[in-house]
Amino acid sequence: MRVPPLTTCEKEVILEALKSGKRFDFRGLEEFRDVKLVVGSEVGTAICTIGNTKVIAAVSAQIAEPSSMRPHKGVINIDVDLSPLANVSNEHDRLGSKGMELIRLLELIIRDSRCIDVESLCIRAGKEIWKVRVDVRILDEDGSLLDCACLAAITALQHFKRPNVTLEPHHTLIYSEYEKAPVPLNIYHMPICTTIGLLDKGQMVVIDPTEKEAACLDGSIVVACNKRREVCALHQSTNLVLSTKQIERCVKLAMSRAEALTAVVSDVIKQDQRERSAFKRPDGFSVTTPSLILTSGTAAARQINAPRIQHGREPEEKMLYQPSVIVNENPLSVGSVKQEEVDEDALIDEQLSIIQNSVDGVAVSDPQSSGVSKRKKEKEMVDDLLDGICDSEEEEVKTEILGSSEPMEVVPVVEQQKDEEDVTSWRKKKKKV
């Protein structure tokens, strides 16, 4: 499908804004977009995002036979997939001129710049070598596609580790990561790409142009540098004639950009190595997923709780028959009593004992003997009252004797005996009555 070109009005508005030093994303002419770099949980995978441009890269390796021209050197192949997911103008399984140019530039920057030691990929000279493949898939396209693809590929190569091997006389043993630690690639330097747009025949420079800005520019130049301030590749997209000063200016901008992005890549790789050395599995690409999106892992089943119903206080007899019912609580909770745990025999024995105690407490009375029992009770109550009065009089006498300060008078024994006899006779008369 062909993408409709920009209208004349849009092109004029964009050009006027660029000539006045303004851009629609509120950046300056020499200002880069933010870069986001994430490595995956599996070694050799990385996602790079520059603005709205997003690229994923994955590195794999297999044993193959070397060519006769280079029997002691490994091979690095780069494959690019331009799917309609990134841009509707792309066709499935068809690269086109844009895809072929992207592959050629990535091979020029990564393979031809000799940033990887291909001799270390040789297992047996002339027989077995490691064939490293870098798969680059474009997820979204919005300008600076080569910059994003190169950064993702370099990060994936830094993150990749090939299996460890042992040479035997007639065969080669390949160990898994649980048997022997994998071996990282020998990378001498990291070439970083920078796309610079040109306007007014190279008089104006627009750094990191978007897709619409690139359609309005006169051309662009791609500079690949490393942190050692070495130029690894230089490519111009149009036939503009540039002076040495213009090229030097573009190279200086690319060198400052390369130093900053090299530090970002090294920090990401070191952080991943720290987590793996502490036996922690990195989060990987799950960091790029927004937390608001529900997935099968986050949208767990929720427990449905019935609304609470307030009941009145039940009598104790019902609680005996229903010990598993708990008022204002969910019977399915952890601390509740289950019906299977109730002992029915013990419950029946408890009820029988309550009935027997209530029967024993009931007294049987006859109507004839009720009158006699009432009279006896009345006599006993009168006698108790009289005894209490006599006891109180004796106590008053004793207290008077003990509490007096005058000398005690000697009372003859005969008078005391008479008094006692009179009291006893008086009591007997009362009882007869």
Q: Residue 60 pLDDT > 90, yes or no?
A: yes
CB 193 within 8 A of CB 222: yes
Phi, psi of 240 (to 5 degrees): -70, 140
* pLDDT band at 359; cut points 50, 70, 90: low
Which structure tokens are listed for 74?
């490994």
* pLDDT band at 6; cut points 50, 70, 90: confident
pLDDT of 157 reads 94
Q: Residue 69 pLDDT > 60, yes or no?
A: yes
Q: Residue 219 pLDDT > 90, yes or no?
A: no
Query: Mind listing the pLDDT tens digit for each residue in 126-149?
Result: 889 999 999 999 988 888 899 999
Helix, strand, or coil here: 304? coil
- Lowest average pLDDT, out of 35-44, 127-136, 168-177, 280-289, goes to 280-289
End-to-end CA distance of the chain: 134
Whether the full predicted model's pTM is greater than 0.75, yes or no, is no
CA neighbor of 206 nearest in space, from 7, 11, 21: 21
Residue 315 backbone class (left: φ over 0; alpha: ψ -120 to 50; beta: rest): beta
Which structure tokens are listed for 3?
């993408």
With the C-alpha atoms ordered 280, 285, 288, 292, is the resulting torsion angle positive or negative? negative
Q: What is the mean pLDDT of the chain?
A: 77
Question: Which superfamily, per CATH, for 27-279?
Answer: GHMP Kinase, N-terminal domain (3.30.230.70)
Structural domain boundaries in the chain? 27-279
Query: Mind listing the pLDDT tens digit for each residue in 75-128?
Result: 999 999 888 877 777 777 777 788 888 999 999 999 888 899 999 899 888 889
Which structure tokens are listed for 115?
């940033």
229-271-43 Cα angle (round to 5): 90
CB 150 within 8 A of CB 33: no
CB 212 within 8 A of CB 6: yes
Helix, strand, or coil here: 102? helix
Query: Mind listing the pLDDT tens digit for each residue in 293-350?
Result: 555 555 444 454 545 555 555 544 444 444 444 444 454 544 544 544 556 777 777 8
- Helix, strand, coil % (nearest 5) of the chain? 40, 20, 40
